[in-house]
Structure 1
Amino acid sequence: MVIICLCEGVTDRDVRDAAKRGAASLDDLVQTCRAGGDCGQCRADLRRLLREQTARPRKEER
């Protein structure tokens, strides 16, 4: 677990969880977990994490 947004204390796990719940943009992340809404230094990392999360094939539920 790595802190991605120092201003809000948001971790990579928090961002991945938000993406799993439907966050698909930086605006969504600001609304759901407050990441990226303050100084903006983390936005490149947030975009990368969102891309990684949405590019992963989801496990089929049985």
Structure 2
Amino acid sequence: MYVCSCFGVTETQVKQHAENGACTPRQIASACKAGTDCGSCVRRIQAILGRGACPTKATVVDPVLSDLEEAA
């Protein structure tokens, strides 16, 4: 399904960019231009990112912190 009609960007593509590290609508726009023309898709992109397409800080494992916790 298309998220951005202006640039033909699909929900799958947005999720793929999120998996590659784009975690905000602005980063998605930098990756594929979605949201940079009429802007009607920005809320949809936000919803996709909010549904777990992008890892949250709570789920990202910091190797330095993990080593410190193991040492304690």
TM-score, structure 1 normalization: 0.82
Question: Structure 1 segments of 4 or more deviating over 3 A?
Answer: none
Q: Which has the higher helix share?
A: 2
2:5 matched to which residue of 1? 6
Matched residue SS, 2:46: helix
TM-score, structure 2 normalization: 0.71
Structure 1, unaligned runs of 5 or more: 58-62
1:33 matched to which residue of 2? 32
Indicate the RMSD between aligned Cα atoms, in angstroms. 1.6
Aligned residues: 56
Give 1:1-62 correspondences, 5 Å limit.
Answer: 2-52=1-51, 53-54=53-54
